[in-house]
């Protein structure tokens, strides 16, 4: 018997509703830096420069792309204040804030993972 690690869709078995839901969720939040950006916005609006400082490993281009994606998905809003120089703030929508328990759970799991890693 031959097992294909990642078979094409036509060779995959029927998917359950739960599998489809997981894939749908991951298509939204599974992209690199997405959960980190959402986590940093949980406590209120942030300016782009604040997000850059809080997520130094993400390039400015990648951060911009991710913020635009999240805005298109309806998870955050982008507000441009008419000032000189212009000030742009990003804030989670109610749909974005609905991810709080999921992100908190991942954060707790990450803390436990770090503790286990050090023990070995």
Residue 5 in domain: no
Would you say residue 73 lies in a domain?
yes
Lowest mean pLDDT among 45-54, 86-95, 108-117: 108-117
In a domain, 4, yes or no: no
CATH number of the domain bearing residue 108: 1.10.10.10
Number of folded domains that form the chain: 1
Residue 20 has a pLDDT of 80
User: Span 22-47, mean pLDDT?
Assistant: 91
What's the confidence (pLDDT) of residue 29? 85
Is residue 11 a part of any domain in this protein? no
pLDDT of residue 15: 62
What is the domain range of residue 98? Answer: 33-119
- N residues, the chain: 120
User: 2 or 99: whose pLDDT is higher?
Assistant: 99
Residue 74 lies in a domain: yes
Contacting residues for 31 by C-beta, under 8 A, at least 6 apart? 66, 69
Helices (H) and strands (E) in the chain, counts: 6, 3
Q: Is residue 10, in this structure, part of any structural domain at all?
A: no
Residue 50 inside a domain? The answer is yes
Residue 19 lies in a domain: no
Q: Which residue has the higher pLDDT, 89 or 28?
A: 89
């Amino acid at each position: 018997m031959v097992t294909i690690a990642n078979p094409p869709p036509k060779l995959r078995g029927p998917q359950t509703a739960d599998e489809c839901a997981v894939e749908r969720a991951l298509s939204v939040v599974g992209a690199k830096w997405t959960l980190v950006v959402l986590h940093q916005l949980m406590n209120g609006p942030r300016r782009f420069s604040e997000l850059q400082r809080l997520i130094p490993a993400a390039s400015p281009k990648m951060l911009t792309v991710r913020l635009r994606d999240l805005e298109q998905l309806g998870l955050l809003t982008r507000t441009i204040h008419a000032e000189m120089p212009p000030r742009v703030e990003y804030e989670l929508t109610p749909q974005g804030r609905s991810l709080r328990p999921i992100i908190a759970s991942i954060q707790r799991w990450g803390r436990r993972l770090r503790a286990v890693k050090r023990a070995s």
